[in-house]
Amino acid sequence: MLIYLFRRLRSAAAKTRTDTQAQTAPSHSFSLQDFSAKHALLALCLLSLVLTLFLAALDIVIVVTLYETIGEKFNDYNDVGWLVTGYSLSSALFTLLWGRMASLLGLKTCLMLSVLIFEIGSLIAAVSNSMGMLIAGRVVAGAGGSGIQSLVYIVGTSLVSERSRGMVIMVLTFAFVGSNAGGPILGGALNEHASWRWCFFINLPIGGAAAFMLFLCYNPSGKPLLSTLTSKLEAARDYRYSNVCTRKFWAHALDLGVFRFDIIGFALSSAGFVLLLLGLTFGGRKYSWSSGTTIAYLTVGPVLIVVFCLYDFLVLPVLARSLAYSSEVTPLVPWPVISKPGVFATSFASFFNFFAYNMQIIYLVQFYQVVHNESPTNASTHMWALSIPALVVIIVLGRINKKFGILKPVAVIGAACGTIGAGLLTLLKGSTTSGQSIGYCILAGAGFSAVMQSTLLSAQIQVDKTDPKFNQKFIEITTLNNFFRVLGISFGGIMGTLIYSTSLKNELATAGPNIPSFASTDELIAYRSKNFDGASSPLENIMSKSIQRVFYGSLGCQALAFLFTICMSNKRLDLEPNPPAVATFEPALNAAVSDQEKGFGITQGPTSSETQNLRVSDSSLAYNITGEKADENEEHYDSMTSRDSPVSAKN
C-alpha cells in the first residue's frame, strides 16, 4: 500500500511539473527538486500517521487473546473485559477534548502530546502487578490513543484537497483495519512465545519511532524545526511565572476552562458514560440487577448524559451571555454541528457500525477458543475472514470516491451487506466448517469498512468551505465522528460480555444433570479449557448458543446502522478540478505566530478573485496524492490569532 502511494506521489509530481511549466511564466517557476521534496515529505508524513494510527488501533484489540491468561494471572476473570473497555471508554471520553485542544493549541502539539500519554499508559500496563494497575494503564493509554485516532484523521485529510480525501482515508483506514486483523495474532504469538507484557512493551519503540518521524516531517508552521524549538524555549524562559500567582491569571484560566475547553461538560459526560457502563458491567455479575448499586448506576449515568447534552446545547451559551463573556464559546458538542441532519445520521451510523463490529471480532475469536479449544494465535487467524474483505473494500472505495464522489449509496449498500453478514454469523455452531465460517464473515467485514469510510467523508463535507470558521468546524466534525466510533467500540465490548455471561448463566440454570455445576461463568470457561470434551458436547452447545446471542445483538446494531445510513446526506465529494496555479512560494505564517496559535491549514477551494494568482504555501503539504494538481490555495485560520487563540486572549 505504501509503495503504491509513493508511486502515485511520484506520478503526481511529474504530471504537475509538466502542467506548471506549460502554464506559468518563467518568473514564477520553481525547481523539480523542491516539488519532488514536497511530495516525498507528504509521503513520509502519511507514513508517520499510518504508524501512529496503527499503534493506537492495535492496542484496542491486541488484548483480545489475553483474556484467559491475564484472568488466570491475577485470578480475576470478572474484570478482564475492562482490558478493552478501559481503553476504549477513556478513548471515547477524551476524543472531544482533544479536538477542542487541537483547535486552540495546534494539531502537531496535541498529536505529539497524545503519543506521549499513550506511551506512558503502555508502560504502566506492561509493568503492572495487579488487575487494577493494568486497567489503570489501559485507561491512560486510551486517553492518549483517543488523541491519536482523532488527530491523525484530521491531519491526514487536511493535507490534500477534498477530492483526494478518500485516498488518504483509504490509507489510514487500511492501517486501522490491518491492526484489527493483526493485533490479536500478534498478541497471541507474544502471549504464547514470550510474555503477555510484551503486548504493551512493543508500543514503546514503535511509538517512539513514529513520533520522531512525525516531528521531523509534519511542520505546519513552515518554520525550521530548530527555530521553532528555540523560540519555544525562549518563550518558556522569558515567561513571567509570577503571573501564576495573580488573580487575573486564574480568572483567565477559568474562562478558558469553562467556555473554551468545556470542562464542566467533559466532567458530566465522563461521569455519565462511566456510570452507565459500570452498571452494565456489574449488573447480574458482581451485583444483582435489582440491587441499589446497579439501579443507581443505570439511572444516574443516563441522567448525567442528558444533563451534559442540555448543558452544552442550552446552558453554556446562556451562561456566557449572562456573564458578558466576550470571546467565542466552544462546547464539546456544539448544537449547530450535531443538529445538522447529515452529521447526526453519520455519527449514529458510525456508532452502531463499530458497536456491531467490536462484538463480532471479539466473539469470533472467543468462539474458536472456547468452542473449538484453539490456541489464542490460531483462534485469531479467523479474524482475517472479516479483515481481508474489509481491506479489499477500502482499496476499491478509495478509487470510487475519487472518481465518482458518491458516499450515501456506498454507505447504504455497505450497511445492508453488514446486516446480512451479521445475520449469517448467527449460524455459527460447533459443527460449522472453516469454509462456512469464512463465507459468513465476508459480507460483515466488507459492510463494516464501507460504512466506516463513507460516514467520515460524508460528515466532513457537511462543512461549508466558504465558512470563515471552516477549519474549526472541520476539526469538530471529524472528532465528533471519531467520538461515536470509539463509543461504539466501548459499548460493543461491554454489551457483548453482558449478553454472553448472562446467556451462559441462564443456560446453566436450565441445563440437565449431565452438566457439572459452576459457581460462575468464569469457572466454566476455565474448566472447559482444561477439560475439553469436543466440539459437539453439551457444554459446547451451551457456549455456542451464548455466542450466537452475541451475534444476534450485533445483527440488531447493524440494522440500526442501516437505518441511519438511509438518513445520510446526498451530498457528494467535490470533483471539480482545481484551476491552473502559479507557484509562488511564500512563508506560510507570520513569524510572530507559533504553530500553537495557527497550527493547521486545511485546504479549501479558491475563490474567483484568487484564480489568477494562487499561492502554494511553503508549509502546506496540500498536494493531491492521486495524480492531479494540488489544491494550491490554502486558507489559514487567521481568526485563531485574534479571538480564538489563548495567546491573544485577555491575560
The pLDDT, as a whole number, for residue 429 is 84
Return the SS3 of 124.
helix
Average pLDDT value for residue range 561-566:
95
- The CATH superfamily assigned to 2-13+29-222+246-262+330-566 is MFS general substrate transporter like domains (1.20.1250.20)
Alpha-carbon span 406 to 401, nearest angstrom: 6
282-331 pLDDT, tens per residue? 777 778 888 888 899 999 999 999 999 999 999 988 888 888 787 778 88
Mean pLDDT in residue range 183-191: 75
- What is the model's pTM? 0.74
Residue pair 111/516 in contact (Cβ under 8 Å)? The answer is no
**Using an 8 Å Cβ cutoff, are 342 and 153 in contact?**
no
Residues 6+ apart with CB under 8 A from 608: none
Residue 349, pLDDT score: 95
How large is the average pLDDT for residues 343-366?
90
pLDDT in tens, 229-272: 777 777 777 777 777 788 888 888 888 888 888 889 889 988 99
pLDDT value of position 78: 64
CA 261/CA 644 separation, integer angstroms? 12
Q: Does the structure show a pLDDT above 80 at 557?
A: yes
Residue 519 has a pLDDT of 64
Cα separation of 69 and 75, whole Å?
10
In which band, very low, low, confident or very high, does the pLDDT at 639 lie, cut at 50, 70 and 90? Answer: very low
Q: Which of 371, 369, 364 is nearest to 540 (CA)?
A: 371
Question: Helices (DSSP H) in 427-537: which residue ranges?
Answer: 434-460, 470-509, 521-530
User: At residue 470, does pLDDT exceed 70?
Assistant: yes
CA atoms 87, 89, 91, 97: torsion sign: negative
Tens of pLDDT, residues 24-70:
434 444 444 554 666 677 777 788 888 888 887 777 777 766 776 77
Per the CB < 8 A criterion, the answer to whether 554 and 359 are in contact is: yes
